[in-house]
């Protein structure tokens, strides 16, 4: 051990050296790992076949246009359904957290609705609503498959989202509504101006996660007939016995989901920073 005191310059120099060493090690190991993976894949005997079947430039290009056209249906659906889900989810959450005795039967129905919609597989729900409702031959109920499929998705996701909102509402400390009431606000005003705004802010991360999940589940509506992007990819795949359209569809999806995911993560990181104040360096 040294017996002489360390100067400030010496300390900084030592830190710089340590940093460089760390970077060199991580860079080398990353490149080595990638090289090993590349070796394993590119040198396997079936690589050529896999490349032409899954990553064919020709099929990627030719299927891109019809896939993007089909994707437009998915986009319209998940935007509209998300709006419905947020409204319906909030309504159900409010219904279940309010204590007014008048609403008791509705509250019971809401609880059953949430349990069933979360408990039944979404695909089953799509079949039941998509094929079952038209079978009723009712003149009031819609028969368009996109609407029925959208309804199934909306019911299922509203149930999940209502639970998220409910958790948010219940997480608000009772002193907040108490302060609102003390000002002379009615219960409705307290909900509108004090409780709900705070609850919603708190549950934005899980809500965004549910939205990302919805963007992908929208593809399931294809079982009822409509040609959305994954179905369109499957059609090209089946007709030509080439799987590249699926890869292309995945790429199109990533163009939407990755920005969404990055956005969610950055928001969550920001919220964490605000709460903790200091980023702990390990």
Q: Which residues bind other proteins (CB under 8 A)?
A: 20, 23-24, 27-28, 31, 34-35, 38-39, 42-43, 45-51, 53-54, 131, 134-135, 143, 145, 175-176, 178-186, 189, 193-194, 197-198, 201, 222-227, 231, 234-235, 237-243
Smallest gap from residue 114 Cβ to other proteins (A): 27
Tokens for 2, please give them: 């040294």
Nearer to other proteins, 183 or 258 (CB): 183
Both tokens assigned to 196: 């709900």
- Neighbouring C-beta atoms of residue 247, cutoff 10 Å: 19
- The radius of gyration of the chain from alpha carbons, rounded to an integer in Å, stands at 27
Spatial distance between the Cα atoms of 107 and 99, rounded to a whole number of angstroms: 9
Minimal distance in Å, beta carbon 111 to other proteins?
27
Shortest Å, Cβ 21 to other proteins: 11
Tokens at 50, concatenated: 């896999």
Nearer to other proteins, 101 or 105 (CB): 101
Minimum Å distance from CB 149 to other proteins?
A: 11
Cβ–Cβ < 8 Å for 167, 96: no
Helix axes 57-97, 204-217, angle to 10 degrees: 130
CB-side exposure of 55: number of CA atoms within 13 Å? 5
Q: Which is nearer to other proteins, 109 or 179 (CB)?
A: 179
Q: Which is nearer to other proteins, 89 or 180 (CB)?
A: 180
**Closer residue to other proteins, CB minimum distance, 48 or 262:** 48
In the block, tokens 């609403």 appear at 103
Among 168, 201, 155, 198, which residue's Cα sits nearest to residue 180?
198
- Residue 229 in contact with residue 187, Cβ under 8 Å? no
Q: Which is nearer to other proteins, 193 or 262 (CB)?
A: 193
Q: Provide, rounded to whole angstroms, the least separation between the CB of residue 57 and other proteins.
A: 13
Beta carbon of residue 108, minimum distance to other proteins (angstroms, whole number): 26
Residue 1 or 140: the one with the smaller Cβ distance to other proteins is 140
How far apart are alpha carbons 206 and 167 in whole angstroms? 11
Contact between residue 211 and residue 260 where contact means Cβ atoms under 8 Å apart: yes
What does the buried/exposed string (b/e) look like for 221-231 if buried means 16 or more CB atoms within 10 Å of the residue's CB? bbebebebbbb
CB of residue 155 to other proteins, shortest distance in Å: 19
């Amino acid at each position: 051990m040294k017996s002489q005191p360390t100067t400030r310059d010496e300390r900084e120099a030592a830190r710089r050296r340590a940093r460089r060493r760390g970077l060199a090690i991580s860079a080398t190991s990353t490149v080595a790992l990638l090289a090993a993976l590349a070796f394993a894949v590119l040198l396997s005997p079936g690589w050529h076949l896999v490349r032409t079947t899954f990553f064919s430039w020709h099929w990627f290009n030719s299927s891109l246009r019809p896939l993007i056209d089909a994707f437009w249906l998915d986009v319209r659906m998940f935007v509209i359904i998300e709006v419905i889900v947020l409204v319906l989810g909030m309504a159900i959450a409010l219904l279940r957290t309010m204590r007014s005795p008048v609403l008791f039967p509705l509250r019971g129905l809401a609880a059953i609705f949430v349990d069933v919609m979360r408990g039944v597989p979404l695909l089953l729900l799509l079949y039941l609503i998509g094929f079952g409702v038209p079978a009723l031959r009712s003149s009031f109920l819609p028969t368009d498959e996109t609407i029925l499929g959208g309804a199934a998705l909306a019911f299922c996701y509203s149930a999940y989202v209502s639970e998220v909102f409910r958790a948010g509402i219940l997480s608000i400390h009772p002193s907040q509504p108490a302060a609102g009431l003390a000002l002379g606000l009615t219960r409705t005003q307290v909900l509108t101006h004090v409780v709900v705004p705070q609850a919603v802010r708190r549950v934005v991360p899980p809500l965004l996660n549910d939205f990302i999940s919805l963007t992908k589940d929208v593809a399931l509506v294809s079982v009822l007939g409509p040609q959305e992007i994954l179905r369109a990819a499957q059609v090209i795949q089946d007709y030509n016995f080439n799987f590249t359209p699926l890869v292309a569809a995945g790429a199109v999806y990533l163009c939407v989901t990755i920005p969404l995911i990055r956005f969610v993560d950055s928001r969550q990181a920001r919220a964490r920073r605000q709460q903790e104040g200091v980023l702990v360096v390990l």
